[in-house]
Amino acid sequence: MPKKASRRARATKRAAPAPAAAAGSPNLGACLRRLRFERRLSIADISVATGIAKSTLSRVENDQLSLTYSKLLQLCRGLRIDLAELFSHDRGAEVPRPSGRRTHTPPGAGHRVQVGKLEYDYVCTDLAGKKMTPMLGRIAARSLDEANGLWTHEGEEFTLVLRGRLQLHTEFYEPLVVEKGGSVYFDSTMGHAYVSIGDEPLEIMCVCSTPDMVLRTAEGVVHHGAHAVPAAPAAQGARLKSRSSKS
């Protein structure tokens, strides 16, 4: 039976050292710094446009902090880009149009982002305007607290367990155990968290639908060549505090 979650509360994301970039791929800090220099923007300009604190952006650029998926969406929305442009190696290349597109990510060549005990490789980032964001995740969190509580972001989410055992915590349901080879699909605006409960390390494939607002702003850049960075409200993504439920 569905279960009502405990009260919601906004909270500041815990700091986490940014990991080394995957082979051949610049890390998030390098990508943000390059984008900022190309647009001749200060950290203060980025902060105003995205609603992300200057101190947070500075720590990201200096590889002292990574951003959650919801914060990446907030960053991209404010800058009127999508993840493909943020992670792009060659800014001068023409953005492929949505017809007969294909891209490939070799093993270990994704763009790695780590927050606490959650580590994700963003893959197939070469194409702009995608309707899905695929990720490969390694989850070391062994409790809801280690996962930093419940998180929300726009869109929907599909997760397949590649290795280990997943305990999925969600805002309105009892924790769900997903075995290797099992999968789950859910509304990402519902608070959720991934926890590893198996003897093996937990590895997952996660695919998130890209919010329409991010797609629209990215398409505006592609089709109209817009480079202005207007002020943007804070993103809707947030962490929720929740009492832990017994599995």
CATH at residue 168:
2.60.120.10
Quote the number of domains for the chain: 2
The tokens of 60 are what? 């990201």
Please classify residue 72 by burial: count the beta carbons closer than 10 Å to its beta carbon, then call 0-12 exposed, 13-18 middle and 19+ buried: buried
The pTM of this model reads 0.65
Q: Is 72 in the same domain as 145?
A: no
Q: Which residues of 206-245 are buried (b: 16+ CB within 10 A; e: fewer)?
A: bebbbbeebbebbbebbeeeeeebeebeebebbbbbbeee
Please classify residue 96 by burial: count the beta carbons closer than 10 Å to its beta carbon, then call 0-12 exposed, 13-18 middle and 19+ buried: middle
CA 48 to chain centre: 21
**What is residue 16's predicted lDDT score, i.e. its pLDDT?**
44
Read off the CATH number of the domain in which 81 is found.
Answer: 1.10.260.40
Ordered mean pLDDT values, 10 residues apiece, the chain (247 residues): 41 41 64 86 89 90 84 85 73 54 88 88 84 93 94 93 98 97 96 95 94 54 36 42 38
Quote the domain boundaries for residue 18.
14-95+213-237
> What DSSP character marks residue 43?
H
Q: Is 203 in the same domain as 218?
A: no
**What is residue 100's predicted lDDT score, i.e. its pLDDT?**
81
